[in-house]
Amino acid sequence: SACLVGSEMCIRDSPHIVLEYMSGGSANDYDFTNPRWRKVVYLIIAKIASALEVIHNNGYVHSDVKPHNILFTSALPKKPEEALKGLLSGRIKVKLSDLGSAVKIGEKAFQLTPEYASIEHVKSMILGGISPLDDIYSLGATAFKLLTGKVLNSPQMLQVYNDFFLTLNASLLDSKLYMTRDFSPLRNVEPDVANFIVYMTSPGKRPNASEVF
């Protein structure tokens, strides 16, 4: 039923959702590519992995992990050392947003961001079978973007994804497309970290959220 704007009845009875205001913006708002910010990026990825572990253990896949959905309770300081202290102390919290994209493990995904989505994730939009490992791929692609400033999924992959969305022809989604990606921007990152991001975004076995954490 209609209610008068500002009336007590309207405020009390109308459907509404109250969300926490994340005044620090998203990880997409910051430039983390300077090597001095690496520890901050590693801590952010670890905390998001911890959040994914909870989601996965409850039988769901987030299905849209990306820098835009990583939010901060307050702005990160301009100096990486101070940002790291703020995150470690809990004065600044990092959270994973947009749980409206979540679906039960094994079901059809209805949302994704092509730049951060695995081939299997895209296939699941018509075939079902979405997996927690698709979130791990997206988190690895997110780590790649934060560290390098570049998108991991190749232009060829993105073009095929677009063609798939137009035709819904799953045969377009050949796993050989993974070979078109370029990991060379990780050459300036510590080898162990670079190798782990490759592992997170591999065509086959990937770590689970607990292992990433």
Catalytic residues: 64
Q: Three-state DSSP class for 208? A: coil
Query: Which residue from 139, 136, 152, 155 is spatially nearest to 186, judged by alpha carbons?
Result: 152
Beta bridge partners of 17: none
What is the separation of C-alpha 34 from the centre of its chain, rounded to a whole number of angstroms? 21
Return the ∠ at Cα 176 (arms to 196 and 173), rounded to 5°: 110
- 82 vs 114: CA distance, rounded Å: 33
